[in-house]
Structure formats: structure tokens, C-alpha cells
Structure 1
Amino acid sequence: MSTKHTSQASQLFNEACNGIKRHIQQAKFSQAIALCHQQLAGDLSNDNRIEILYLLVVAQRLNGDLSEALESNKTLLEANTKHARAWQENGYLYLALRETQLAAQSFYQATQLNPALLASWRALLPLYQQQENAKAVAISEAQIDYLAGLPNAVLGAKDLMYEGNLHSADKVCRQFLQANKHHPEAMLLLAEIGIQLKVYGEAEFILSSCLALYPEHKTAGITYLQLLAKMAKFAEAKALADKLLVASADNVVLLCAKASAMVGLGDVDEAIDIYQRLLKVNDDQPGIQLLLGHALKAMGDLPAAISAYQRAYQYKPEFGDAYWSLANTKTYRFSDDELLAMEQRVAQEGMGLDDKVHLHFALGQSLEDRHSFDAAFSHYAKGNLLKQQQINYNPEVFERQVAKQIETCQPELFARLKAAGEPSTDPIFIVGLPRAGSTLLEQILASHSQVDGTMELHDILGLASKLQGQKNQYPQILSELDESYFVRFGQKFLQDTRVYRQGARYFIDKMPNNFLHIGLIKLILPNAKVIDARREPMACCFSGFKQLFGDGQEFSYGLENIGRYYRAYEQLMAHWDTVLPGFVLRVQHETLIDDLQGQVKRILDFCALPFEQPCIDFHKTERAIKTPSSEQVRQPIYRSGMEQWKHFETHLLPLKKVLSES
């Protein structure tokens, strides 16, 4: 369809929507319903169909057609489970039908998806009062007071943000701040929008400015802590937590933020001590039980981690993350009773979306362990579909990024800037796709006396994000920068990552996504080593598809998307081989398993390291490991995972098709 025809179709649809809204405003509900059905009979995009369905539900409810409205809303929520106003409509409908429990669940779900829905909070308050739920009443009253006290523009921008209209929210918020320069809630909101847009540098500046102006603003402080954790700036996060704790020494959120930062810094024992002290005061804190489990797992104390995860779901039976964390140990086996409880929970109406996603992935892993492969795939597919709806990943964006890297990072760029960077040989980067064996390579190298294992460091990604800015100027800007920038970037990387080192000559940065930025790495750290962890495509992609990642890796929640990502990765790695010959060592996971000693010697030679036997006996090395493969690399080499995907082969045709395309 031409641009002209697309524009005309969009205009006609907008006119139809406005007509339906006018009929609703004029209480002409039957006419509005008829117009909705007329539109739904046509050829609509998914987003347009959802918009018309929502208007239909509103018109049917106001017309008194409650059963029809519930049915229409069911169709809407099947198309978009996170439509907050559809959940709000469910609340109104159940309220009209005197189904107060279902009404409360629906309004609650609406507020979870869009905490700025003042109408849902106001509807919840009397329902909680009837239930004599004092804690929920207090939360609702506080939220109503907070939202009602916001300027209309800020409340509107907040609503837009939660509805996913980030650029509109950003525009409204900036316009308000032009007239109200240092309004704390508007500053906080602009930072929150920036975080969702992944403009982390700007969000960090806004939050630090907000706290400088309003040091007592607890929400700004907590949001800043969350951002620092997301950026893996754990030293800064710990320092900020300590500063905020001076005024609120017993604040559980701040103490947990400090403990999480300490886990990031490798001070896991002290973090565990904080969690245990908090639980000694009150054991019924499932979120802290979960965090304790993560810290214990990182330390290798799996039995204690399992106990913490089990306590988490015992205190909160719908806590999907607790079940997933058990499944994600890769060694835990669920009992029949646990499996039945998960299946019952995931089927419940009104179940929180995040809990449902976690439960589907946990059920997939559990059923795969029981060799019920078709049932397992059904849950993996449902979990991935729900996750896709949350993130709206577009594979073309990444493919354009790869194309820009190839276009910009040509031999003449590296020839011109070959002496521009910091000459240190300290860093060893391990890149590739998640679930490709990078944790195993890290464990092998970290078992060497001259190498520190750290974690998936965010520093290269952060630098790339800053260079990108809001004008999409990275990587093109690399050819325009003054040469002096590159050595400074390299020095800053070494300075900022020093906190994660333990004093060895070399250290590892295991952020897999750094493969996109190998050109940048070469320019700022020309003597660094880069190792590409490569795994057979079907095995790698399926392993990623069935893994629920804590953050990022949005490409992994769809078979076609992950296949396209893998192909783009292969294309880019081939480019680096051409323009930077010898800079990257490729280690094939399957070859490593077949010839451990030979591949270890090859890796050590590449890194200019003498052979040491602990690298072969890597599973005996004691260190904190925070990735999903933590328990697997504490065991000797095993082959069982190499062909797991073949049990699911009939379900993986979309992936196989993408990977086989030339």
C-alpha cells in the first residue's frame, strides 16, 4: 500500500473513532455499538481492532448490555492482556453484576498495569474497605491522594507513559517543565520515561539533579537506585543507598537495594547477612526470600537457595518468580504437588501478567524434565507470547544497527585510528549470544591465576548509548570524533571496571551483547582480547527461547525473532573477521566439549597466558556466578544439552526456516 493510501486509511479510521466517541458522549449507545460492529467487520490492523473493541465495551456497558460487554472485553484482553483500561472496564462490569471479588481483582490488575488510573484506585477503595483489608485501604488512599495532588499535565503524561505512548508522554512532560522548571514529580516522571526509552544517561542526570534539589524525595532516591542497578553501576548504587539510609536506617527497600548492589560488587556474604537480618525480623517477605535465594545461588549454596525460593512461594503461592527461580537452577525437580499448584495458578483469571509469564516458563522447564515435550513447548510458547506483548520487540531495529556497524566500521577507519586508544592489555571480552557457552568460557579463564572473572559489565553498552544520544548518531559518530576521545574512553572503561577486579593481571567482561560493539572496543582498547562464544544455531536459539531473562535480550521471545537475530549476529561477526583479522577468537561450544584440553590451550595461547591445570578443572573453582548457567559450570563438561532442541523439532519449523534462508 502506498504512503498516500495508508494516510487516507488512517484518516478514515480516526474519523470513524471520533464518530463513535461522539455517540457515546451524547448517550447514543446503540448507534455507537452499531458503528463499532461496522468497523470490526472491515479489514483492521491489530491495534485499530483493539481500539474499536475498547469503544464497543464502553458503549455496551453504558447501554446496559453487560454480558455482551464482558464477551467483547474477553476478546479484547485475548488480543492485548496488558490493556489497563480493558481491565478497568471489567471492574465496572463485575461491579454492576455485584461480583465484588472479581471487580476488585480487575481494578487491581488495571492499577498494576497503569498505576495512574485514578478511577480504578477510587473504585478499589470501597471494595477494600468492605473486605476490611486495612493494608490495601492504606495503599489505595495514599495513591489516590498522590494522583489527585498532581498537576493535570503531569497526571496526563504519567497516564500516557503507562499506556506505552512514551514519546507523547515525554513531550507533555517537557512542555510542563518549561513553565515549571524544577517540579519534582515532573522531573521524576521525565526520568522514568527516559528509563523506558533506554536513554539512561539523561535519566541519570535528571535523577541526580532531582535529588540534589530535593534530597528527601524517597521515590526519586529509590528510582535512582533502580536505574544504577540497571546500568550495573553497583559502586554508585551502594554509595547512594548508604547516603539515603542515614535518614532511614531501617528502610527495607533501601537495605535491599544496598544488598543487591553488594551482590553486584561481589560482596555476596555481606548481602546475604542483610537479607537474613531483615527476614529475622519478619520471615513473611517473599520478595526478600527470592533475593536471598539469588545471592545464595550465586555463592554456590544451592540447597539453601532452594529453601529460600520455596519459602517465597509458600508465603505467596501465586509468586511466579519463585517457581521460575527454582526451575532456573536447571537441577531442581518439582514434585507432583508443586506441578499441580503451578498449573492451577497459571489458569486462574486475574493472575498478574508477570507471575503468569514466570509460571509458564517454570512449567515448560518442569515438563521438559519429565520428557513431556509437547506440553512443555506449549508453556514455553505461551510464556514467550505474553513476554512479547510486554516488550513489542522489532527485529528490524537490530538489523539496521548491524547494517550501520558494517557500513561505518571499515578498514580505513581502523587504519586511521590504530594508535588512538588506551594500549592496556587487561580486558578479555567474551561475546556472543546468551546460552552459547559464554559462562563456561568465563569459568575456564577465571580459573587461571592471572585472570579475574567479573560479570556481565554494562560499560561498553553504556558508552555506545551515550554516543548514540537521541539523534541515532552511533556508530557513524566514530569517524567524526577527535582522536583524543578514544584513549579517554579506554581509560574510563578501565577505571570504572576496577571495582569488580580482585587484583589479577587480566579481567573478563562477559557481556554477550558486546559483539555489536567490537569496532568500538578495537578503537578504545586496541590490545584487548575478544572471544566469540559460538554454539550450533538451533541449539543456541532454542535454549534462548526457553530462557526467561531477568532484563534485556528482548529478541529471544519469538522463534522468528531469535532466528533473525542469530543470522544478523553471524553476518556481523563475519564482518569483524574481515576488517579486524585475528582480533576475535571463535570458540565453538561443541568443539570445546569434544576437545576440552586442546581448546583450553588454544584459548590460553590467544590470551598470551601459560597453561594452568585449574582451567581444565574449572568446575572446582569457587567464585560467585550470577548467570542462569551457574550450576552447570560447577560440574564437569557434559554433553546432554547439545541436542535437547531435537525433542521439540516439530515445533521449531519457523526457527529452522529463518536460519536456513540465504
Structure 2
Amino acid sequence: MLLTPDTLPDAELARLRSAQGAGQHEAVAREAGDMLHRWPDHRDLRLIHATSLRFLGRIDQALTQLAALEAAHPRYSLLHQERGLCHIARRDAPAAIAALLVAVGINPALPHSWKMLSGVYRLTGDMDNARKAEAHVHTLRALPEPVVEATSLFSDGDLDEAEALTRRFLLTHGDHPEAMRLLAKIGVAHDVLDDAEVLYAGVLTLAPDHQAARQEYVETLIARHKYPEAREALAPLRAQGSADLKRLDATIAVGLGHHEEAIALYRAILADLPAVPGDDGELRLYLADLHLWLGHALKTLGRLPEAIAAYTHAADLRPDFGDAWWSLANLKTYRFTPEAVEIMRAAEVAPATGAADRVHLNFALGKALEDAGDPQQSWRHYARGNALQREASQYRPEILETNTRLQKQVCTNAFFTAREGWGAAAPDPIFVLGLPRSGSTLIEQILASHPQIEGTQELPDIQRMALELQGRDHDIDAPAYPGSLAALSPMQCRALGERYLAETQAQRSLGRPFFIDKMPNNFRHIGLIHLILPHAKIIDTRRDPMSCCFSNLKQLFAQGQEFTYSLEDIARYYRTYLDLMRHWDAALPGRVLRVLHEDVIEDLETQVRRLLDYCGLPFDEACLNFHQNRRAVRTPSSEQVRRPIFRDGMDQWRAFEPWLDDLKTHLGSALADWR
């Protein structure tokens, strides 16, 4: 059979496995070794080669092959199982146990590994662990073989094969809790969270006491920002009080805005753990994460010294922990010592530093060196951090541009006139939107200082509805949304508006008549907002393009906002934003209030009165003293809005002007006509 250098056919692998099963190990080892010269990175081929070498007693060669396999596929469970079998052949019980434990840690559906562990534990006299391993063998024997096989495939990353096998089993045998749970896990891996949620709910209907499925269900609800539902789902497990469940509880508390509760939970977990982890690397990583999460909650409440202490502790535990260093930088008011800068420099160039840590370290160094008055070196790190983040991104600017073109086609003035009076009647929401780093947090803080307005956070509900209206059509040239808006009935629009109000109710702990949704990207969905909430207020915060784009380029966001990691992308996004906002002005005249950040800085009281007039509310002095409001603020500007109006950030980009010529070029006419 003539084989191309591109692909190793499955039939060839099947033939080698068949020969291996027939005991033809000399031939298989020779042929697989030859084929590896042409397909050196093929995972299964190298495992076949190593396995035949073991059967031939060539253990050292087999272990060499497994080491090469691990370099490319470190989380491939079968390589660790094979390594364990090699050590059993050498009668090295400790090494065999260590390798087999790695295998089952990655993939618990390996009956052969559990059986071998049981045997080796018995040989070493460790009867307690032998019985535990045997219990796993019995658990797997009790499951249908296709479910075990599919679980093993899933654990090793073969998602498509695992999904196909699981679906075939369910079609043949009907509902089965473990098969449904596996399908839900595959859904999570594919980011199809709505399906996963339904499947987990089905599992818990069949098996209400399935603790692992319940915990995974809670994690899925958290990923969907369904915090009230997650809290309810977690309730049956809460009495167990494990650290992992407390961590989930704290995450839910943060999502609900209950930050004091989250702080108490994080501190309770830390109190049960050793403060000094010693040589336990995994514990050290976990402690660093806990201190980071604690720092985030403290920062949100404005408890700055405690937040700094938590972030610093996280960095002490893990000097290459980029997120801890960036969290300090992201306070905006923190200043690094020269010693801290040197620690970050060393970690940034260290070969062992992970990709995500390297990105965070570059942004932190950019901020540290900017504050130190070295714009050239600062820009070098900002540029490197952006380049690394952009390289890992799947961002495609055409998606927003296509959406903008279709919004202009669908959401015309005539379209809205024909639907006048649709949607929910409540006037409660105030949408503050625009680009990130445009001054929206300041506007939110001003408004949330009014006794009739409650500040919440950047709520995902409108974006989630838009995704539902989009469906699973990923054709960027002809997406279903926003065209699907035209198919909505008056009843559906009202139902969506009422659903938005119901689902955001959990964020309104103060019971004030109005509340703020400060998701900046909602400018893409003003048509949807108007259809379902025609009496909501919509405020567009806008900032000079050079100041706004530069501020985004030096900001590393926790998630999303992938358009901010290159000069061309952020400029292109800004121009598209202007284009779409001009359309909303024409299609919905007078509907959106535009507030320029520069005007707020220059004349605060005039702009505050203008905002409150638009919202139909009386003037209140508290809005001028917004910096005294101690409410929780989760955005990067949290510490800045706890200070009186200041001009420091207005022209920060000018120190970096020598490196921003391309940004000016890409912005083009937007430099002059952005207001």
C-alpha cells in the first residue's frame, strides 16, 4: 500500500494492532520504527512501537519511545499506563505505581491500570490501596463496556470518537446516567454549554445523589453565568464542606455580587491549609490561586491594602505567576519596586514559564516601566504581550463587521416603527455601553451614587439572548442573527424583556427602582434591547480614539475583548463601532444618550445633570461625590473611580506616540470624526 507523507491511514494502525494482538512483536516493532521516520509525531504509532518493544523485553528502548511520546502528548493516559507496565516488567514497584497513578489520574476509565495497581499494591503489602484500586475495577466492570471505552477516549482528548460512541450507545440502550454525563462533559469541552446543562439536569433526574455529576452541573451553570441556579444546585452538597465545594460556593457568591461572603469562604479554605506548602508543588499552586481569588474579591470592595497583600502572597508562592503580578499592575495605583521588576523580568524570559503567565508578565512589566518613566521599554513589553495574546486568539474582525452590515439592513427606522410598543414595559434597566476603557465605569459609578439607581456589573444576559437568536449557525457571511429579530412576535419580544428582568433580579440586592447593566459590547445589540425593553435607557460612553485605543492596547482583559491585542484590530473595531452607532442614531433618533469622556472630565456637574435628566431623575449631590461610594466595582477602573475626577489619563498615549503611527493610519478618518 502506497502511503502519503501527510496522513497515516487508520487501516494501517488497525493492521499493526492486529499483528500485535497475534504476537508478531518483532515485525511490528520493526515496521512501526520505520514508519516513525515518516510520522514522528503520530501518537498512536509511537505507543504501538513502545508496546511491542516491551513485549520483546527491550524495556530501555520502550521507555525511550515513551519519553518522546510524553514530550508531545504529556496527558495521554495510555503512555503512562504503558510506562507502568514497563516498570512492572523491571520489577520496580514504586516506579510502576507512580506511572499507573498518573495514568488513572488523567483517565479514571482504565481498568487495566487499576488492576495492575491492585496487584502491585498487594505485592508491596499495601492492602488498603490494593482494595481501593480493586473497587475501581469493580466500578468499571459494572458500567457498559461502550461507556467505559468512550470515557477513556474522552479522557485522552479523542472527543469526536467518544461522542459518536456515546450517542450510538444511548440510541440503542436509552437513557443511562453515566453515558449522559459523559455526553455533557463532551458538550462542555466543545463549549456547547446549553446542551451540557440539559444533559446534566437529566442525569440528576435519573440519579439525584450523583455527586460528581451535580458538581459538574454546578460548574456548567457557573460557566453560563447562571449563579442563582448554580447556588440552588449546589445546596445538597454544601454540608460536606470540602475545599472544592467552598471554592465553587465562593465563585457563585462573586457572581451574585456577594463579595464579603466570598472573602469569608476563601479565608475559610486557607485556614484549613498549611500556610507554607513545603515541597508540595500542587498545594503551592492551589494556595497561589486562592490568594489571587481572595485578592480579586477584596479589590472589588475597595479594600486595597488587603488586596495587595493577597496578590503579593500569591506572587511569593509562585514567582512566575503572571496573573498575580498583573493583578497588582491592574490596580492602576500600585507601584512596583525595582526588586519586583527584576523578579518579573527573570520570570518572563525563563523557558519554563507558561504561555499565559508570559502574557500577564509582559503586561505587568509594561505598566511597571510606564510608571517608572521608561516608555520605550514599557512599549516593548506591551507590544510583546499583545502579540503573544493575539497569536493565541481566534478573533476575526469580519464577524463584527458582518453583524454591523446586517444590523443596518434589518434594524431600520421603518422596522422599529412597525414594532412600536412591543417588549416589556418596565423602565428599570440603564444600559451603559461603548468601547472598553471609554469611561463607562466612571459613568456607572456616577449613576450608581444616585439613591434611585443600583449599580450591578457587566451582565451577560443580552449577549446570551443574541447567541440564542443566532443559534448554532457559524456562517459568518450569512449569520441567522440579527435577521432572526424580524421573526420575533410581539409576545416573544415581551417574554424576552420579562426574562431579562427576571434573570437580572438576583443582581439587584438594594431594591432600587433602576439598575445599570454596564456590558460595553451591548452596543452591538441596541436593536434587540429596544425591541424587548423599549423604555430602558441607553447611554453610549465615548472617548477620543487615540486615548481609548491606547488604553485598550495596554489592558489585559480577564476574558473576551480579543479585538484589543493589535493596533490594526483595535482601530478597525473602533471604526466599526462608530459606523454602527451612527446607524442607531439614524434608526432610533434620540434613543441613545452620548456622553463624551472628555466632557465629563472638563465639566462634571453639567454632564451629571444631563445624565440624570435623560434618566428622568432629580439631581443629587451624591453623583458629584461618586468617589465616596463604596459599592463593589469589578472592572479594571475600580480604583480610579474611587478617586475624584483627575486628568492624569487623558493624554497618556502621547508618551508612546513614536510607536503609534500605525494606529493613527488604521484609525484614519475616525481621528477627526469620532464625536
Shorter-chain TM-score category?
0.7 to 0.9
- Which residue, out of 579, 592, 596, partners 2:600? 592
Residue 232 of structure 1 aligns with which residue?
225
Q: What is the DSSP-based 3-state SS (H/G/I as helix, E as strand, rest coil) of the residue aligned with 2:6? A: helix
- What amino acid maps onto 1:308 in structure 2? A
Superposed CA offset, 1:554-602 (max 9, x none): 2222332222222222111111111011111111112211111111111
Paired residue type of 2:297: A
Matching residue of 1:490:
497
Residue correspondence of structure 1 range 265-414 to structure 2 within 5 A: 265-284=256-275, 285-414=287-416
Q: Quick check: 508-517 or 652-661, which moved more?
A: 652-661
**Residues 1:17 and 2:10 aligned together:** no
Deviation of 1:334 after TM superposition, in Å, equals 1.9
Distance 1:94 1:322 in 2: 41
Distance 2:411 2:208 in 1: 44
Deviates most, 270-279 or 18-27: 18-27
Structure 1 position 243 matched with structure 2 position 251: no
The one-letter amino acid paired with 2:612 is L
Opposite residue 208 of structure 1, the aligned amino acid is: A
Residue 110 of structure 1, CA deviation: 4.8
Residue matched to 2:579: 571
Structure 1 residue runs without a partner (length 5+)? 1-13, 37-51, 64-91
Q: Structure 1 residues 399 and 614 mapped into 2: Cα distance closer, same or farther (>3 Å)?
A: same
CA contact (8 A) 1:109 1:350 kept: no
CA distance 1:172–1:97, shift in 2 (3 Å): closer
Amino acid at match of 1:222: Q
Aligned residues: 590
Q: Distance in 1 between matches of 2:84 and 2:300?
A: 40
Q: Which one of 190, 193, 203 corresponds to residue 210 of structure 1?
A: 203
Within 2, Cα distance between the matches of 1:595 and 1:94? 75
| Partner deviation per Cα, 1:428-451 (whole Å, 9 max, x = no partner) | 001111111111110000000110
User: What residue number does 1:41 align with?
Assistant: none
Q: 1:139 to 1:456 in 2, by over 3 A?
A: farther
- SS of 2:538's partner is strand
Alpha-carbon distance in 2 for matches of 1:207, 1:603: 45
Which of the numbers 595, 599, 623 marks the counterpart of 1:615?
623
Cα separation, partners in 2 of 1:587 and 1:122, compared to 1, 3 Å: farther
Quote the residue 2:245 is aligned against: 254
Tell me how far apart the structure 2 counterparts of residues 32 and 133 of structure 1 sit (CA, whole Å). Answer: 29
> Structure 2: how far apart are the matches of 1:167 and 1:516?
34
| Alpha-carbon distance between aligned partners in 2 of 1:125 and 1:390, rounded to the nearest angstrom | 37
**Residues 289-337 of structure 1, C-alpha deviation per residue, up to 9 Å, x if partnerless?**
1111111111111000111111122223332221121111112222222
Helix, strand or coil at the partner of 1:428: strand
**Structure 1 residue 142 and structure 2 residue 105: aligned?**
yes
8 Å CA contact 1:158–1:169 kept in 2: the answer is: no
**Cα contact 2:109–2:149 (8 A) shared by 1:** no
User: Could you say which residue in structure 1 is the equivalent of 2:131?
Assistant: none
* Aligned CA distance change for structure 1 residues 116 and 553 (closer, same or farther; 3 Å): farther
Q: Measure how far apart 1:353 and its partner are.
A: 2.4
Cα gap change, 1:196/1:28 in structure 2, threshold over 3 Å: closer, same or farther? closer
On the 8 A contact 2:454/2:516 being kept in 1, the answer is yes
Q: Amino acid of the residue matched to residue 205 of structure 1? A: V
Q: Distance in 2 between matches of 1:94 and 1:372?
A: 53
Cα contact 2:404–2:576 (8 A) shared by 1: yes
Q: Distance in 2 between matches of 1:626 and 1:322?
A: 16
Q: Give distance in 2, aligned partners of 1:443 and 1:133.
A: 59
- Match in the other structure for 1:4: none
User: Following the alignment from structure 2 to structure 1, what is the Cα–Cα distance between the partners of residues 238 and 99?
Assistant: 26
- 1:153–1:176 Cα contact (<8 Å) kept: no
Q: What secondary structure does 2:426 align onto?
A: coil
Residue 652 of structure 2 aligns with an amino acid whose one-letter code is Q
Alpha-carbon distance change, 577 to 546 in structure 1, aligned in 2, over 3 angstroms: same
Q: Structure 1's 221 and 322: CA in aligned 2 closer, same or farther, altered over 3 A?
A: farther
Amino acid at match of 1:290: L
Aligned to 1:72: none
Q: Mean Cα displacement is larger for which, 295-304 or 359-368?
A: 359-368
Q: What amino acid is the match of 2:496? A: F
Is 208-217 or 361-370 further displaced after alignment?
208-217
Q: Which moved more, 1:195-204 or 1:291-300?
A: 195-204
Change (3 A) 1:422 1:556: same
* Matched position secondary structure for 1:383: helix
Please report how far the alpha carbon of residue 404 of structure 1 lies from its aligned counterpart in structure 2 after TM superposition.
2.2
- Please tell me whether the aligned partners of residues 375 and 655 of structure 2 are also in contact (alpha carbons under 8 angstroms): yes
The AA in structure 1 aligned to 2:218 is L
**Matches of residues 472-483 of structure 1 in structure 2 within 5 Å?**
472-483=479-490
Distance 2:81 2:374 in 1: 43
Contact 2:366 2:380 in 1 (8 A): yes
Same amino acid, percent of matched pairs: 42
Report if aligned partners of 1:444, 1:615 keep a CA contact under 8 Å in 2: yes
SS at match of 1:585: strand
- 2:613 is the alignment partner of 1:624: no
302-311 or 131-140, which moves further after superposition? Answer: 131-140
Taking a change above 3 Å as real, the CA distance of residues 390 and 122 of structure 1, as seen in their structure-2 partners, is farther
TM-score normalised to structure 2 length: 0.78
| Residues 622-631 or 556-565, more deviating | 556-565
Query: How many Å separate the matches in 1 of 2:358 and 2:612?
Result: 44
Cα gap change, 1:136/1:420 in structure 2, threshold over 3 Å: closer, same or farther? farther
Which stretch of structure 1 is more off in the superposition, 628-637 or 638-647? Answer: 638-647
Whole-angstrom distance in 1 between the partners of 2:245 and 2:389: 29
Corresponding residue number in structure 2 for 1:9? none
Residues 432 and 512 in structure 1, CA contact (< 8 A), matched pair in contact too: yes
Q: Which SS does the other structure have where 2:334 is aligned? A: coil
Structure 1 residues 23 and 506, CA gap change in structure 2 (3 angstroms): closer
State the alpha-carbon separation in 1 of the partners of residues 62 and 350 from structure 2.
16
SS of the residue aligned with 1:526? coil
- Decide whether aligned partners of structure 1 residues 368 and 217 sit closer, same or farther in structure 2, where only a CA change above 3 A counts: farther
User: Is 1:637 aligned to residue 628 of structure 2?
Assistant: no
How far residue 194 of structure 1 moved from its aligned partner, in angstroms, is 4.0
**Alpha carbons 1:158, 1:189 under 8 Å: kept:** no
The alignment partner of 1:18 has SS state of coil
Please say if 1:499 is aligned against 2:506: yes
Residues 183/625 of structure 1: CA separation in 2 closer, same or farther (3 Å cut): same
**Paired AA for residue 617 in structure 1:** N
Secondary structure at the counterpart of residue 314 of structure 1: helix
The CA distance in 2 between the partners of 1:180 and 1:338, in whole Å, is 60
Distance 1:256 1:33, change over 3 A: closer
Residue identity matched to 1:620: Q
Task: Tell me if the contact between 2:389 and 2:565 (Cα under 8 Å) persists in the aligned partners.
Answer: yes
AA partner of residue 337 (structure 1)? E
**Separation in 2 of the partners of 1:587 and 1:345?**
42
TM-score, normalising length: structure 1: 0.79
Structure 1 residues 157 and 396 mapped into 2: Cα distance closer, same or farther (>3 Å)? Answer: farther
| One-letter identity of the residue aligned with 1:358 | H
Change (3 A) 1:158 1:655: farther
Q: Residue 199 of structure 1 contacts residue 469 of structure 1 at CA under 8 Å; is this kept in 2?
A: no
- Residue type of the partner of 1:433? L
